[in-house]
Structures are given as C-alpha cells and as structure tokens.
Amino acid sequence: MIKGKVDGAETLAGAIQKVYRRVMSETKRVLAAEAVLMTAHTRKFFMSGPRPEQLGVRTGNLRSQTKPLPVTERPGVIESGMGFGTTYARPHVGPKGQVTTIRAKKGKFLAIPLKAALTPAGVPRGAPRSGMWGETFLSRSKKGRLILFGKKVTQKGARAGQARGDIVPLFLLIKQVKIKSRIHPEEILAYEKPRMIAAFRGIGIRLRGA
C-alpha cells in the first residue's frame, strides 16, 4: 500500500464545495425566473386570444390559477415549471390535434348554456336546476336537438321569485362533447428552450444537448 499526502487538498475540497453551492444557487435562480416568464407567456398567448384558436377569458379562473411552480430539489434533480391548478384545464392542454371526449353519466345529459343563459362576458348565469329559470320545458329543434326552454327568474328585490321576459332557449342537452386542445406544450417549450439555454450560458453552464 502506498500512502501520501496532497498539499492543499482541504483547500481544494472547500473551493469545490463553494463552486458547487454557487452553481446550485444560480441554477435555482434561473429556473425560478424562467418559470415566471413561461407562465406569463402562456397566459398572454394561449389564454387571452380569440376563440376557437385560443382560450377566451370568461371568469379568468383558469388563467389566474396558471402559476409558476416552486423550485424543488431531490438527489440529482432540480425541478421547476408551470402548473394549471384547475381540474378542467386537462382537456384544453395537450399536443396539436388532441381531442378529448366528455360524456354524460348514464341516463343524464350535458347541459351546454346558450346565449340567454350566459352573461355578456360569456359566463353561465346558473345551472338548469339552479332555480333561476322558473318553469322549464324540453323541446326538440328542427335538427332534432334537445333544448331546455324557460324564463329568467328575478333573484332579489320585491319581485324575487317571479319569472320575467319571454320564453327563450337556455340549454342544449347532449350526451357528449368533444374539446380540442388549445394550449400546446410543444409550442410553449419551443418558445422557452432558447431562453433557457441563454440564461444558463449567462451563469457559465452549457446544457447537454442544447
């Protein structure tokens, strides 16, 4: 067995640890900053545009719940990114061409609100059984579609509970609906990749495969 001593080994080890901590700190900073930028880009270019190409703004809930994820660390991996935060985001997010079919439960229908059942911003005023439509009835259109008709009921004031206005079509009742994805991860990544590469080069790190 050959033994020896390397002068300055402790100093070298300390320097390596110092560099490692700096690199890790800078990496986390870059990931956090890029997650914010990616989220802002997604909100602006995928959630604020004209329908049907992009998601229009109704309540704004999906857009407000799309947020950057915190940077997390586990052995050999540092992660960050963007989360959508609402369950109904799923059918809207996916590669181009993705179509999600939503089916009604057995013996029931999906109620699609028509113009009279929406606010000017396009937000549903209330569900078919919310109590705000008075007496309702079903009828089929010339094309054979099942439609729920009714009148709006005043919710507040002296006339609360009274139906008003004309009988209007409120909801289209269907068994299933197909939703095309309009937020495409491949386009988000194509936007983010060159910015991520540049950000890491700025702290002296060259990403593998970039």
CB atoms within 10 A of CB 119: 11
Q: Which amino acid is at 40?
A: A
Quick: pLDDT tens for 46-105.
887 655 555 655 667 788 889 999 999 888 788 899 998 777 788 888 999 999 999 999
Measured in whole angstroms, the distance separating CA 144 from the mean position of its chain's CA atoms is 34
Q: Which amino acid is at 154?
A: T
Domain boundaries along the sequence of the chain:
10-96+181-201, 105-174
H or E element at residue 77:
strand 77-83
pTM exceeds cut of 0.75: no
Quick: pLDDT tens for 125-166.
888 888 778 788 899 988 889 999 988 776 565 555 566 677
Work out the mean pLDDT of the chain and round it to a whole number: 81
pLDDT at 111: 93
- Nearest partner of 146 among 169, 168, 115, 117, judged by Cα: 169
